[in-house]
Amino acid sequence: MSKFEIVHRRSIEQAEEFWAEAATGIEWDKPWERVLDASNAPFYRWFSGGRLNTCHNALDRHVNGGRADQVALIYDSPLTDSQRKLTYRELRDQTALFAGVLAARGITRGDRVIVYMPMIPEALVAVLACARIGAVHSVVFGGFAANELATRIDDAKPSAVISASCGIEPNRIVSYKPLLDRAIELASHIPDFCIILQRPQEHAELTPGFDIDWHDAVAAASPQDCVSLDANDPLYILYTSGTTGEPKGIVRDNGGHAVALHWTMKNIYGIAPGEVYWAASDIGWIVGHSYIMYAPLLHGNTTLLYEGKPVGTPDAGAFWRVVSEHKVAGMFTAPTALRAIKQQDPEGTLAGNYDLSALRSLFLAGERCDPATLHWAEKTLGVPVIDHWWQTETGWAIASNCIGIEPLPVKPGSTTLATPGWDVTVLDAGGSKMPTGKIGAIACKLPLPPGTLLGFWQADDRYRKSYLERFPGYYETGDAGYIDEDGYIYVMSRTDDIINVAGHRLSTGAIEEVLAAHPDVAECAVMGVADDLKGQLPVGLLVLKAGVDRNPDDIVTEVINLVRERIGPVVAFKKAVVADRLPKTRSGKILRGTMRKIADSEEYRLPATIEDPTVLTEIRQALQSIGYAGGAI
C-alpha cells in the first residue's frame, strides 16, 4: 500500500484521530470536547466545545513565534503600477487597529459585516479585523451590480459595509460608491454605517453621519485584541455565484476551517512555512478566501495579492513576471486563465523571458482542465501541473494529487484521487453505486471533513434539500463524472450539463476534450440543445488561438470529424461555430447554461457574475449563423 493510500485510509477509518492530530497545528484557547459531533446529523460539527481565534492563528501566533519580520503579504498591482509588502507584525498591527475601529462603533461577536472592496491590502485587513473580534464577514466581489449587492445586504443584514472609492480595471475606473449607495437604496435592511477607503485614483463623496473615512477612523483608533470564539461560531458567509434570485450564503466555521486549511498547505500543495504562495484569484471567490486570505497566513507563508489580469497587464507574460519577481514556490489559478494566456501566446514563448526556477507546482481549479491545456502548461513551465476539484461549498479540495504526501502519476483529464478526509463515490439516479468507468452523479459520504460548509445562512432546510436529500447519507456535489479502475476521479461536467442524445447519456466535457485537442483551438464550450428527433444534440463554440488565419469552416469540419473518430457517431456532433470569445463569470467559469438557453430561444436571467454582458449578443449571432437562437440570420 502506498504512503498516500495509508494516509487516506486512516482519514476515513480513524477520522477523529486523524483530524485531532491535524488540529495540533493550530493554537487553541480551550481544547475541544468532541472532535466530531454527530448529535444533530446530518448537520455534523467538528471540534465542539473548543475555543480559538482565526485571526490570532493567522497573524499573532506567527508574530509571537518568530515570523514577525517575515513578509506576510505582497501586493502587486500592474493596474496602478505599484507594489507593497507587509510583514506579519505590520499586518497584525494594521488589523488590530481596524478591529478597534469596528469595536468602537459597536461591532461585536456574531454581527455581520459586508466587505465590498477591490484587490488591495486593506481588504485583507478588513476581513481579518472581523475575524479578530468575532464579526462574521461576507465578502462581495468588488464592483458587483447594485441589485446583487442589495440582495446580499438583505440576506446577511450587516451592521456595517466596508468599501473603497473605486476599483481599477484595464482602461477604466469602476466607481464603487455609487453602486454601494444604490444597493442601500434598493435594500430593505439598512446598515448602521459604511467605512470607505479613498483610493488615489478616485475620490468618493461621503454622506456625513453615515459614511466614515477609513484613514480618519484608523488614525483615531486603539488596537483591539483577539476575541476567543467557539469552534463552531461562523467565520464568514460567502454567497455563491449561481444565477438564482435567492441568495445562497455558504457558512464556514472557525475551528474546522483553520484546522483543514492549515493542513492542506503542506499535505496537498507541498508548501513549507516561509515560502511564497500565490492564488491568482479574487478575494470575492472561494479560492481567494481559502488560498489568498486564510490558508497561507495560517501556515506562516507569504501570500500574494495581485491586482491585474492574466493577459493585457501588460501582456500574456504577466503571470510569469509575478512568479519570477516574487519567487513564487506554489501557484494556483483557473484553467480559463491559462487558456487566455495560451490563446495570446500559443507557443508559451513569453515564459522564457523570466526566471521561473522557484516555482515547483501549478494547481488548477474552477472548472475542468482539458488535457491539451494541461500539456501546454507542463511544457511551458516545466513543473507538475495538477488539476484538482473542489467547490465553494467544500472550501478545499475534494480530489487532488497531494504532492505534499506523495506525488502520484498524472492522468490528464482526472483530478487524481479523493483527498484525505473525503469518501467519494458515483451514484445513479436511484442512489446505487455506478460501475467503474460509468458516468453518474458524484457524491461524498457524510460526514464531510472539517472546513466544509456548516450550511446556508439561516436556511438549513434549503441546504438539506439542495445537497442532502436526494442521496441520504451523502453530500450531492452537483457534478457528474466517473471513477476509473485506479480510483482516479474524472469530473466531466455539472450534472445539468450531461446531455441525452437519443437515449445515450453523454458528457459535454468529453466532447470539449476532443475539440480542445485541435491545434488551432484555444478554448471551447459544448452544450446540449433541444432536438425534436433525438431529444438533445451537442453544439460547440470554438475560440481560436491568436494568429490562426484559416477558413473557420475548415476548422469546424475538422473538429466534427475528430469527435466522430475519437468518441463515435453516437454523439451526433454535427454543428459548431467559431466565436471571438465565450461568456464567463468573473471567476472564469464558462456560462454553458446561459448559452444553451440562447440556442433554444428560451428566456434567461442575465447572470449576476458575468464578466461582460455584451458577449451574449456575439454568441446569439454566432448561434444564429448555424440555425439556432431563433433561427438563422
Read off the pLDDT of residues 399-457 as tens digits, 9 standing for 90 and up. 999 999 999 999 999 999 999 999 999 999 999 999 999 999 999 999 999 999 999 99
- pLDDT (tens digit, 9 = 90+) per residue, 291-337? 999 999 999 999 999 999 999 999 999 999 999 999 999 999 998 89
Residue 245, pLDDT > 70, answer: no
**CA dist., res. 182 & res. 168, Å (int):** 20
**CA dist., res. 99 & res. 97, Å (int):** 5
Buried b or exposed e, range 255-268, using 16+ CB within 10 angstroms: bbbbbbbbbbbbbb
Q: How confident is the model at residue 505 (pLDDT cuts 50, 70, 90)?
A: low
Q: How confident is the model at residue 504 (pLDDT cuts 50, 70, 90)?
A: low
- Mean pLDDT score across all residues of the chain: 93
- Give the residue range(s) of CATH 3.30.300.30 domains in the chain: 502-624
The percent of residues above 70 in pLDDT, for the chain, comes to 97
Distance in Å from the first CA to the final CA of the chain: 61
- pLDDT (tens digit, 9 = 90+) per residue, 570-587? 788 999 999 999 998 876
- Give the residue range(s) of CATH 3.40.50.12780 domains in the chain: 3-308+388-481
| CATH fold group of domain 502-624 | GMP Synthetase; Chain A, domain 3 (3.30.300)
Q: How confident is the model at residue 502 (pLDDT cuts 50, 70, 90)?
A: low
- pLDDT (tens digit, 9 = 90+) per residue, 24-66? 999 999 999 999 999 999 999 999 999 999 999 999 999 999 9
**CA dist., res. 600 & res. 594, Å (int):** 10
Residue 95, pLDDT > 90, answer: yes
Q: What burial class does residue 539 get, using C-beta atoms within 10 Å of its C-beta: 0-12 exposed, 13-18 middle, 19+ buried?
A: buried
pTM strictly above 0.75: yes
**CA dist., res. 353 & res. 518, Å (int):** 27
Given this model, what pLDDT does residue 308 score? Answer: 96
CATH of domain 3-308+388-481: 3.40.50.12780
Alpha helices in 105-246 (DSSP H): 121-133, 146-156, 176-186, 214-219
Block residue for cell numbers 457558512: 251
Q: Is 389 left (phi over 0), alpha (psi -120 to 50) or beta?
A: beta
Give rounded-to-5 percent helix, strand, coil for the chain. 35, 25, 40
Q: What burial class does residue 302 get, using C-beta atoms within 10 Å of its C-beta: 0-12 exposed, 13-18 middle, 19+ buried?
A: buried
